[in-house]
């Protein structure tokens, strides 16, 4: 069946949702041809836009939910998630508001995981997690999925998630901070970059047997992970991380 015999609707995607579209459909209205009456969720994801990135759908001037069935001649406007202001009064609630921010990352985001932990965010990661496991963790522990895999975000069970655009870890970190409005929540080295455990200051005498002679001689302030036991002190590596953190804060203002 050719497009002339199919139903059609007019679509327009706004702001960062255009990242998922081919150039011919970016930042403009275009015609979508379809059969039957698919849900608006399926129609949106047919354009490679995961539903989790959508927060407001307007059809013929009225807000609708993901279960709306697309009709011949519909005019559809699709808007991204608005984290910086409240639009709950004008749309059906697809997602609860963010109160605490916890992440679970897919297997492609190991370096981003370390950076998120370094600036204080509870971030789970294993390089052997399957998509289904990530989704279950996100649901059971109320975590936000961060991923480079569009497929996982199209799963209807996913309630909170974000598709990472950049392939560079620092740019990925800045993306997450901006997307979830985290500029005022950063807390340097409060979590272990290795295991995600909480880091606390520790008495030097309690860990002295674990220290190398040079470290024991020149440093007095130590911190230890409550999970894996990793010891941190203000050496050259610590200072590199601190400089990274200070520069990051300047860049995201």
Q: Which helix (H) or strand (E) holds 158?
A: none
pLDDT of residue 3: 66
Q: Is the pLDDT of residue 14 over 80?
A: yes
Q: Is the pLDDT of residue 2 over 80?
A: no
Q: Which residues contact 241 (CB under 8 A, 6 or more apart)?
A: 118, 188, 189
Q: Is the pLDDT of residue 97 over 90?
A: no
For residue 75, give both structure tokens: 């005019």
pLDDT band, very low/low/confident/very high, at 96 (cuts 50, 70, 90) = very low
Q: Is the pLDDT of residue 98 over 70?
A: no
Q: Is the pLDDT of residue 24 over 90?
A: yes
Kindly report the pTM of this predicted structure: 0.84
Region of poorest pLDDT, from 25-39, 131-145, 225-239: 225-239
Q: Average pLDDT, stretch 130-156?
A: 95
pLDDT of residue 237: 87
pLDDT of residue 99: 60
> pLDDT digits over 183-218, tens only?
999 999 899 999 999 999 999 999 999 999 999 999
Coil, strand or helix at 62: strand
pLDDT band, very low/low/confident/very high, at 235 (cuts 50, 70, 90) = confident
Q: Average pLDDT, stretch 128-143?
A: 96
Q: Which residues contact 2 (CB under 8 A, 6 or more apart)?
A: none
Q: Which residues contact 244 (CB under 8 A, 6 or more apart)?
A: 118
pLDDT of residue 86: 46
> How far, CA to CA in Å, does 50 sit from each of 89, 154, 158, 196?
23, 5, 10, 28
**What span, in angstroms and rounded, lies between the C-alpha atoms of 35 and 3?**
10
* Mean pLDDT over each residue of the chain, to the nearest integer: 91
pLDDT band, very low/low/confident/very high, at 100 (cuts 50, 70, 90) = confident
């Amino acid at each position: 069946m050719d497009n002339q015999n199919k139903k059609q609707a007019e679509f327009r995607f706004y702001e960062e949702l255009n990242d998922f579209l081919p150039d011919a459909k970016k930042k403009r209205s275009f015609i979508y041809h379809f059969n039957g009456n698919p849900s608006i969720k399926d129609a949106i994801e047919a354009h490679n836009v995961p539903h989790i990135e959508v927060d407001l759908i307007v059809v013929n001037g009225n807000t609708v939910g993901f279960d709306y069935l697309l009709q011949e001649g519909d005019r559809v406007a699709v808007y991204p998630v608005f984290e910086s202001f409240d639009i709950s009064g004008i749309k059906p609630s697809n997602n609860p508001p963010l109160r605490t921010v916890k992440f679970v990352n897919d297997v492609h985001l190991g370096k981003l995981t370390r950076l998120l932990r370094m600036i204080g965010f509870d971030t789970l990661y294993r390089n052997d997690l399957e998509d289904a496991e990530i989704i279950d963790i996100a649901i059971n522990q109320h975590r936000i999925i961060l991923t480079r895999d569009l497929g996982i975000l199209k799963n209807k069970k996913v309630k909170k998630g974000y598709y990472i655009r950049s392939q560079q870890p620092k740019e990925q970190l800045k993306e997450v901070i901006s997307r979830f409005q985290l500029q005022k929540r950063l807390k340097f080295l409060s979590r272990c970059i290795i295991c995600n455990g909480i880091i606390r200051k520790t008495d030097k005498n309690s860990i002295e047997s674990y220290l190398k002679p040079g470290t024991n001689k020149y440093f007095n302030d130590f911190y230890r992970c409550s999970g894996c036991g990793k010891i941190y002190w203000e050496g050259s590596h610590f200072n590199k991380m601190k400089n990274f953190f200070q520069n990051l804060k300047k860049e995201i203002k």
